[in-house]
Structure 1
Amino acid sequence: MRLTDFLPIFGWLKTYSRNDFHGDLFAGAITAILLVPQGIAYALLAGIPPELGLYASILPPVLYALFGTSRTLSVGPVSVAAVMIASAVNAPEISALQQPVQSAVILAAETGVLMLLMALLRLGGLVNFISHPVLTGFTSGASILIVFSQLPPLLGLAKLPCVGSLSCYTDTVRTANTATLITGFGAVLLLILFGKPLTGLLKKTAIKPVWITAISKCGPLLTVALGATAVDLWDLDTAYQVATVGPIPAGLPGLRVDYAIDPVHWRLLLPYAALIALIAYVESVAIAKAIAHLKGEKIQPNHELLGLGAANIASALSGGMAVAGGFSRTMVNFSAGARTQMAMLMAAAFVALALMFFSPYFAAIPKTVLAAIILVAITPLIRLQNIVHTWRYDSSDGIAEGATLLGVLVLGIEEGITLGIILTLVSYLRITSHPHIAVVGRIRGTEHFRNIKRHDVKTWRHLLLLRVDENLTFANANYVEEFITDQLQRQPDIKHVVLIFASVSYIDSTALEVLEGLNDALKNLNILLHLAEAKGPVLDKLHKTDFFSHLHPGKVFFRTQDAINELV
């Protein structure tokens, strides 16, 4: 194995140029501007001290840069992982321990260990077990939960006094802290203005696109700075009871392993860590693939497990929370001109400098401003209309997406995603157990064979041509047999049945037994079974058995037309 296969960073470092450095430096600075307020906000969303979000923004990107295969993915605290951490920390058996910080750090460690174990077992294909509709439903449901969780800090309340009716929310707003409410909604308005309105206005000027991206993404940092300034100028925290972040320890985090020596704690958190690892991996790979497609690069899913696993272990060792690839930061990183992971190394360096020299200024940041940042960032992820779109295309996927969303809202994070995965697998098994089988005939004047229900074709009274459009397995073999039996009852004059295996790449042992039984049953009816257009690998496996001796005098035809030439 080459060194670059294990450490992809050495692959792009070989060709690293001054232009790459300039692009990465600018992108790193812009990403850090977004990373600092998001790190604090997502830590508070997870119900843990804000410094854990900042700690998770320093060492984890460095480890991912060493082992990850995406040159643009921004690894750090993300909203979905934060709400899953909150769900775990607030679980009765976990909250009873009264150690939220230790729980969050252990979750990061377990997430990293599980990812490394998955990489060792080469389970990168696990990403395929969560369908896009289920992931979308989960994200929408989790985003709705996040929105409701951020309403109390936005309004200056400890918690929502009630849920449900419109009058309930009206009364809640009336009882909210006025200063907090004004500050929060002012932050929301400013963040919205820094989005599409400002971007659209700047595009009408001669400003370069990269600078437009830089200016528009400064909204969160500017909002935080203005909020903290307002607290200092007008004593909003003492005179008007506007809640603030509070003191954040200055300096870089030290490496520690004392959290890892608690087997009971690890056992209780393991199921939550497994779900965080799965979702973090699937979401990160999806984002990495999308950006890689835009840049003409290639992602190695199994190697991503190594990069993300190392990043999470690094986060745990430095006292941070679980991390994953963030969509908004990755798009900012990409749009700002990032060429390689050097951009995230620089972003991590900027966050480290902020912790070392500016942490006293973080104490005055209003929590309502951080809630506004989360709300504006998370709202676009609520895609209810997508359920309707999915339903119109495939009702099974639509049901899975809708059920996942409702499951997350009603049952909880873990139960909702589990429900979605189960429904997807059930739908897949239902589809594969009822494969598409077409009775075909020949298009007149050609050697092409098509479905008799879709085309005007020639058929023969004593010959039944069947095209099986699915691999034959234990799940569908009996269905295929029943389909053939039904066709023979409808056409009593049939003397030959030709199974066209052009779409069959695999026949398992159960299906083989069914075929042998079908062949014996047809012989008793004086009907011969034949195969046509079977693929080489299928024939190779069949040759290892005595199937062909049982099939005789039935034959295997290279083309369907060859069967017509001999049997008609």
Structure 2
Amino acid sequence: MPINKLKQITSKLPLNKSLVSYDWQTFNSDLFAGIITAILLIPQGMAYALLAGLPVQVGIYTSLLPALMYVLFGTSRVLSVGPVSIAAIMVASALSSPEIKALGSSTQNAMILALEGGLILTIMSAFRMGSLVHFISQPVLSGFTSGAALIILFSQFPNMMGIKIGSCTSITECLNNAQSSLNIFDMGIGLLALATLLLMGAPLSKLLVNLGTQQTIRTGITKSAPLLSVIIGTILVTAYSLDTTHSVEIVGHIPQGLPAIGVGFLSTSYDHFLALLPSAFFISLIAYVESVAIAKVMASIRSEKIDTNQELTALGASNLAASISGGMPVAGGFSRTMVNYSAGAQTQIAMLIAVAVISLVLVSISQSLQSIPKAALASIIIVAVYPLVKLGSVVNVWKQDRSDGISQLITLLGVLILGIEEGIILGVIVTIFCYLRRTGKPHIAVVGRIHDTEHYRNIRRHKVETWDNLLLIRIDENITFANINFISEFIEAESRETDAKNIVLIFSSVSYIDTTAILYLKELINSLKHKGVVLHLAEVKGPVIDKLEKIDFLKDLLPGQVFFQTTDAVKCFAPNINEA
């Protein structure tokens, strides 16, 4: 490739914009943030790998090459991409079915999920489908997140307490899989880790604030809690050989060195890829939605801008990188991103430094990590996931909007009872049903003129002028196949209640009208003509009038007219009114 062409390509990378004004002060901030983020990522990555039912090194590998890809292509300067709790539990759900287990190893299946997810996101990027982020409503996403977080908590509490439990992707499955044998040594380590994490959270942060400690220092100290908790647990296990004498579960052997890059998993059968494709679609979609949501929050704090289509490219590349480096599907994580930001990260270089630190650990002291107790990692997951449970949000949303409340509640219950993928499918279906139900019965108002003005308002809400020969009806929704029957019935019912010979439909809120609706309107026009009533339109928007003109609708409307303003219609049919 010619050098000039290469320079032209690299100049368009988001990272290049960050480096234009890069200086030593910025590097010092990124260096500190990168080290602190790495301290969090190592134990957290291991914990999320166990949550997904994978070897712990998979979580560490997933924090390397995928993060580098996001650094190159991502538009957020502080978003940290890697293994996250929600994606991990979705991976566990995908890998837990007997059909998938029979196809290959869990690690191979996770790599295929990452590959398929990366391809899906890349294809979406090519078709500029970044706006897809808006197709999953916030209530559904919130209900899904809370439900998945509760499943994670139910699956990890037994692990923290030393109770044997297999993988589970619903509350009922978690309860059925739990065994009664409790290991008090596992429980002791888990509770000690939990206490360390909690005390080094808000209480220690408040103490450091009172002592006048700088924010970056506070972040460095408090966010090292996961590392400290696993160090304490590892020391106890090693010092007293708890893994052999008291059956304390540890992570076991971790290969030394960086992950091997390869595509050996591609040799599997077509049916294998096809079986994992539905799960890969849901995982990648949720990963994208959550990543963009986090990136937008951080961008608003930092007065920056996020390109949703570019984020598709970045997350697609990150997942493809995970697939060829022994990883699992990735997304932007809220906790690690907040740590990166709070520690003072200024650019994507902070994540490069974090990757370098993690790589150094893998090539030097990875053997020291094999005695980390699983109970300590379970505690890390519990503390990280607990804030995602927002049951009070269901009540608040219910009070604000009953349909959204129903969608959120059904999604939550669906995830808990049926499972991860089934729950979100159910939530989306309910949301679509509620939307169609709401749009199927749009708000329609009979309006009149507020005295001595040109303002027209609902006759049931305001004291207004009306006229015997004129009926004004305002439609506050686009007119489609879903609601045209309701609208037609409303107009005919109102026409029967009055002696008005002229009905004016006010289209000020109508931006779109479909073919079915136009056919129904033509029938309505003819029906009203037989009764001696003429239908007119007012305040029709440009795109709507263009469409009506193309199909000669205005000829069918005759002798009805199209008025520029509602006032023009009123002056035409009620000429003796007092002008404002």
Q: TM-score range by the shorter chain?
A: over 0.9
Residues 1:481 and 2:485 are matched in the alignment: no
- 1:213 maps to 219
1:441 Cα deviation after fit: 0.6
| Higher alpha-carbon deviation: 191-200 or 151-160 | 151-160
Instruction: Confirm whether residue 453 of structure 1 aligns to residue 460 of structure 2.
Output: yes
The partner residue of 1:537 within 520, 543, 547 is: 543
Partner of 1:352: 359
Q: Which residue of 2 aligns with 1:309?
A: 316
Q: Relative to 1, partners in 2 of residues 1:67 and 1:153: Cα closer, same or farther, differing over 3 Å? A: same
Paired residues of 2:288 and 2:312 also in contact (CA < 8 A) = yes
1:560 to 543, 547, 566: 566
2:325 equivalent in structure 1: 318
Aligned pair partner of 1:285 in 287, 292, 297: 292
Aligned to 1:414: 421
Please report how far the alpha carbon of residue 50 of structure 1 lies from its aligned counterpart in structure 2 after TM superposition.
Answer: 0.6
Deviates more, 1:312-321 or 1:203-212: 203-212
Q: Is the 8 A contact 1:152 1:160 kept in 2?
A: no
Map 1:460-479 onto structure 2 (within 5 A): 460-479=467-486
Alpha-carbon offset, residue 512 of structure 1: 1.5
Q: Do the aligned partners of residues 445 and 332 (structure 1) sit closer, same or farther apart at CA in structure 2, a change above 3 Å counting?
A: same
What SS does the corresponding residue of 2:68 show, helix, strand or coil?
helix
SS in 2 for 1:26: helix
Distance in 2 separating the partners of 1:189 and 1:103: 35
Whether the aligned pair in 1 keeps the contact of 2:506 and 2:537 (CA below 8 Å) is yes
Provide the residue aligned with 2:578 in structure 1. none
Deviation at 1:160, TM superposition (A): 7.9
Residues 160, 172 of structure 1: 8 Å contact kept = no
Match of residue 95 from structure 2: 89
1:416 Cα deviation after fit:
0.5
**How many Å separate the matches in 2 of 1:22 and 1:468?**
59
Q: Distance in 2 between matches of 1:53 and 1:74?
A: 14
* Structure 1 pair 152–97 and aligned structure 2 pair: CA distance change class (3 A): farther
CA-to-partner distance for each residue in 1:82-122, whole Å, 9 max, x for gaps? 11111111111011235111111111111111111111122
Alpha-carbon distance between aligned partners in 2 of 1:275 and 1:438, rounded to the nearest angstrom: 41
- Counterpart CA distance in 2 for 1:319 and 1:264 is 21
Pairing of 1:513-532 with structure 2 (within 5 A): 513-532=519-538
What residue is the counterpart of 1:343 in the other structure? 350
Q: Deviations over 1:149-206 (max 9, x none)?
A: 11232122322899999xx99x978x41111111100110110111111111111112
Tell me the CA shift for residue 7 of structure 1: 2.1
| Equivalence map 1:165-244=2 (5 Å) | 175-244=181-250
Q: Does structure 2 conserve the Cα–Cα contact (< 8 Å) formed by 1:502 and 1:534?
A: yes
Structural mapping, 1:134-153, within 5 Å: 134-153=140-159
Quote the offset at 1:516 in angstroms: 1.8
Verify: 1:258 aligned to 2:264, yes or no: yes
SS of residue in 2 equivalent to 1:72: coil
Q: Offset at 1:6?
A: 5.1
* 1:46 aligns to 2:52 (yes or no): yes
**Match in the other structure for 2:280:** 273
Distance 2:26 2:99 in 1: 49
Match of 1:118 among 112, 118, 124: 124
Q: Name whichever of 21-30 and 280-289 sits farther off.
A: 21-30
Secondary structure of 1:409's counterpart equals helix
Query: Are residues 3 and 530 of structure 1, via their aligned partners in 2, closer, same or farther at CA, if it must alter by over 3 Å?
Result: farther
SS at match of 1:416: helix
Query: 2:465, 2:118 → 1: CA distance?
Result: 61
Q: Does 1:25 align with 2:31?
A: yes
Tell me if the contact between 1:471 and 1:503 (Cα under 8 Å) persists in the aligned partners: yes
Does the CA contact (< 8 Å) of 1:3 and 1:10 recur in 2? no
Amino acid at match of 2:147: G
Aligned residue type for 1:324: A
Q: Tell me how far 1:142 sits from its aligned partner.
A: 0.7
Matched, 1:74 2:80: yes
Go from structure 1 to structure 2 and tell me whether the alpha carbon gap of 1:26 and 1:443 turns closer, same or farther (over 3 Å shift).
Answer: same
Q: In structure 2, what residue type is equivalent to 1:137?
A: G
Partner SS state of residue 458, structure 1: coil
Matched, 1:327 2:334: yes
Structure 1 distance, partners of 2:571, 2:171, is: 72
Aligned residue pair count: 563
Residue identity matched to 1:73? L
Following the alignment from structure 2 to structure 1, what is the Cα–Cα distance between the partners of residues 120 and 171?
A: 39
3-state SS of 2:536 partner: strand
Check whether the contact 2:469–2:573 (CA below 8 A) recurs between aligned residues. no
CA deviation map 1:246-297 (0-9, x unaligned): 1100110111001122122211111111110111111111111111111111
TM-aligned CA deviation for residue 330 of structure 1 = 0.8
How far is the alpha carbon of 1:240 from its aligned partner? Answer: 1.9
Q: Which amino acid aligns with 1:13?
A: L
Specify the alignment match of 2:401 in structure 1. 394
Q: Would you say 1:433 and 2:433 are equivalent positions? A: no
Distance in 2, Cα, partners of 1:327 & 1:83: 16
Secondary structure of the residue aligned to 1:457 is coil
Secondary structure in 2 aligned to 1:563? helix
The residue identity in structure 2 corresponding to 1:189 is A
For structure 1, the residue ranges without an aligned partner over 5 or more in a row are none
Q: TM-score, normalised by structure 2?
A: 0.94
What's the offset of the Cα at 1:17? 2.5
**Residue in 2 that maps onto 1:7:** 13
Amino acid at match of 2:483: N
Q: How much does 1:3 deviate? A: 3.9
Aligned partner (choices 48, 65, 73) of residue 71 of structure 2: 65
Decide whether the 8 Å contact of 2:508 with 2:541 is kept in 1. Answer: yes
| Structure 1 counterpart of 2:113 | 107
Distance verdict in 2 for CA 1:4–1:400, change over 3 Å: farther
| TM-score (normalizing by structure 1) | 0.96
Separation in 2, partners of 1:161, 1:107:
18
Query: 8 Å contact 2:31–2:353 — kept in the other structure?
Result: yes
Deviations 1:351-405 (A, max 9, x none): 1111111201111100000000001111111111111111111111111111111
Separation of aligned partners in 2, 1:240 and 1:547: 83
Aligned amino acid, residue 191 of structure 2 = F
Q: CA deviation at 1:218?
A: 0.7
Asked whether the 8 Å contact 2:471–2:503 carries over to 1, the reply is yes
Letter in 2 for 1:200: K
1:497 aligned to 503, 507, 514, which one?
Answer: 503
1:390 to 1:457, Cα distance in 2 relative to 1, 3 A: same
1:366 matches 2:373: yes
